[in-house]
Structures are given as C-alpha cells and as structure tokens.
Amino acid sequence: MTVPETILCVDCDGIAHLLTSWAADTPPEPGSVLSYLCASCWERFDLVWEDQIDDD
Ligand SMILES: [Zn+2]
C-alpha cells in the first residue's frame, strides 16, 4: 500500500498536498494520521489513514 501524496480538497476541490513525512524505514501504518494542506484555500486536513476494509 502507498499513501496518496495528494487528495482532493473537500472545501474547494483544489489539490491538497501531503504534509506528513516519515523516515524511509518506518513507513506509516494503517491508523496513522496524515496531514494534508490545500494549495488553493490553505485548509489543513488531518486524516486517519485506514487500511482497506473487506466487507465479507
Ligand atoms: Zn481547498
């Protein structure tokens, strides 16, 4: 799994860029908090990175 480096801003549909960084040998795990900053409205978003859930 890889962490998305950009997401769509929920406020303005701009591009929000990943702020969180980590050491190369300690990648984030599901449950880690990732911070994104929108380049258009400068809103900051903190998301909990969830592993994909199987419904079955
Ligand atoms: Zn925005």
Residue 21: its pLDDT value, please?
Answer: 85
Name the DSSP class of 8.
E
Band (pLDDT 50/70/90 cuts) for residue 20 is confident
- Predicted confidence (pLDDT) at residue 56 exceeds the cutoff of 90: no
Do residues 55 and 44 touch, judged by C-beta distance below 8 A? no
What is the Å distance from ligand 1's center to 44 Cα?
8
What is the Å distance from ligand 1's center to 34 Cα?
16
What is the Å distance from ligand 1's center to 23 Cα?
28
The dihedral through the CA atoms of 41, 11, 33, 17 has a sign that is: negative
- Across the chain, mean pLDDT equals 88
| Three-state SS sequence of 16-43 | EEECCCCCCCCCCCCCCEEEEEECCCCC
Residues 35-55 have pLDDT tens digits of 999 999 999 999 998 876 566
What is the Å distance from ligand 1's center to 56 Cα?
35
